[in-house]
Structure 1
């Protein structure tokens, strides 16, 4: 998989990781970068092609696919975080997370998949695909669903030669994580790892130490990981 010369679409490209994806893709010689956002007027990156796209609106998704028929690499980056739990939060917020991370990602993938033979899809996931965190139950569930989606569509698209890669990361230094006071990774470092992995035909990129740590615990007794929070531990 080569970035140089490729036509790439990035969802949620107006800020954070999406904006860095667009910048890094241009630096690596992508022939065209579609920078998609609900409000394309917020795209401020010279050299990209702004594209209106609300991934939770089917008509918007279909219009974007029609407007960008030459895409060879799709980066599903658009996301939200409502910072809500499951039992006491407004159900509308929980549904919005699933509508974005699962249903939205699926809608965009379905719309662009026919033109991605011998191309690639990269889904921006999270270390929270693999563990629960107090205050982020909805995000955990939505990202776990998106991880499962990634694994499933990888099998379905293998017959047309489409590489499907999942990117897992912990805390990145973006607006979405501005509240977090722990260590955060520079967006450029996350994106470089992601694009290096894509060009190496990897189906999974674990972009930082925290994600690697979480993944390494998955085969262990979960009580060990949740020692400070699990009742009876």
Structure 2
């Protein structure tokens, strides 16, 4: 996948990682970058082609796909965090997490997969980047709805990668711990520089990598999936 000359679309471009994706794609020579958001007035990145897009609304996704029919690189960045647990949390907010991270991401991929196939030519069917999380691999008391939705999105990513292999579409999963964005503003913990995170991701895309583990937290969490749950969750052991 070559960033230079590509036509990219980034969801959730109005802040955080999305803004960095758009800016860096432009600086690296993308011929066009569609910057999308539910509120397009909030996107103010020079050189970007701004489009309205609510990934949980199939009509909104279809309209964006019709306008951006030349996309070769899709970045699924839009997301939310409602800080809900599964047993005691607000069911509506838990559903919103799944509607956004799983069904919303799937809506966008389904709409743009044929476009990627058509625009790729002999070089292949473009690329899809799914922004996931270290929480794709483990549960966290206080944000279990987010973890469940990201785990579902991880499985989704593996599934669409298999389904799109014949059209030679690169599907890359990105897992990261804490990044210094608005979503993590209320947490007093070490955080990654979002500009560095995006640079790492774009480098990985140009190397055709299927998975990017941004930090040690993500690597350790993924390794723990193969262990007995008692190792990662000692508080759950009943004696």
**Bucket of the pairwise TM-score, normalised by the shorter protein:** over 0.9
Matched, 1:103 2:109: no
1:231 deviates by 3.8
Distance in 2, Cα, partners of 1:216 & 1:193: 21
Map of 1:80 onto structure 2:
80
Tell me the distance in 2 between the aligned counterparts of 1:216 and 1:159.
Answer: 29
Distance, in Å, in 1 between the alignment partners of 2:27 and 2:15 is 17
Superposed, 1:22-101 pairs within 5 Å as: 22-101=22-101
Once the 2 structures are TM-superposed, how far is the Cα of residue 208 of structure 1 from its aligned partner?
1.4
How many angstroms apart in 1 are the aligned matches of 2:220 and 2:75?
25
- Which residue does 2:236 correspond to in 1? 230
Residue in structure 1 matching 2:129, options 122, 134, 143:
122
Q: Distance in 2 between matches of 1:51 and 1:105?
A: 17
CA-based RMSD of the aligned residues comes to: 1.0
Q: CA deviation at 1:105?
A: 0.4
Q: Which runs of 5+ in 2 are unaligned?
A: 118-124
In structure 1, stretches of 5+ residues that fail to align are: none
- For 2:218 and 2:238, how far apart are their aligned partners in 1? 26
How far off is 1:222 after superposition? 2.1
8 A contact 1:5–1:29 mirrored in 2: yes
Q: Does 2:21 align with 1:15? A: no
- The 1-side partners of 2:187 and 2:175 are apart by 18
Q: Give, in angstroms, the shift of residue 189 of structure 1.
A: 1.4
C-alpha distance in 2 between matches for 1:138 and 1:217: 20
Alpha-carbon distance between aligned partners in 1 of 2:21 and 2:238, rounded to the nearest angstrom = 43
Partner in structure 1 of residue 122 of structure 2: none
Relative to the length of structure 2, the TM-score reads 0.95
- Say whether residues 1:137 and 2:149 are aligned partners: no
Which residue of the other structure, out of 169, 178, 185, is the alignment partner of 1:171?
A: 178
Check the 8 A contact 2:8/2:34 in 1, yes or no: yes
Normalised by the size of structure 1, how large is the TM-score? 0.97
Work out the CA distance in 2 between the residues paired with 1:148 and 1:214: 16
Q: What's the CA shift for 1:30?
A: 0.7
How far is the alpha carbon of 1:232 from its aligned partner? Answer: 3.0
- Rounded Cα–Cα distance in structure 2 between residues aligned with 1:218 and 1:92: 29
Instruction: Work out whether 1:155 is the aligned partner of 2:155.
Output: no
User: Separation in 1 of the partners of 2:193 and 2:238?
Assistant: 37
Give the CA deviation at 1:91.
0.6
CA deviation string 1:190-226 (max 9, x = no partner) = 1111111111001101111211121222222221222
Cα shift readout 1:95-114 (whole Å, capped 9, x = no counterpart): 00000000000000000000
Counterpart of 1:205 in structure 2 is 212
Contact 2:230/2:237 (8 A) holds in 1: no
Q: Would the aligned equivalents of 2:82 and 2:93 in 1 still touch at CA under 8 Å?
A: yes
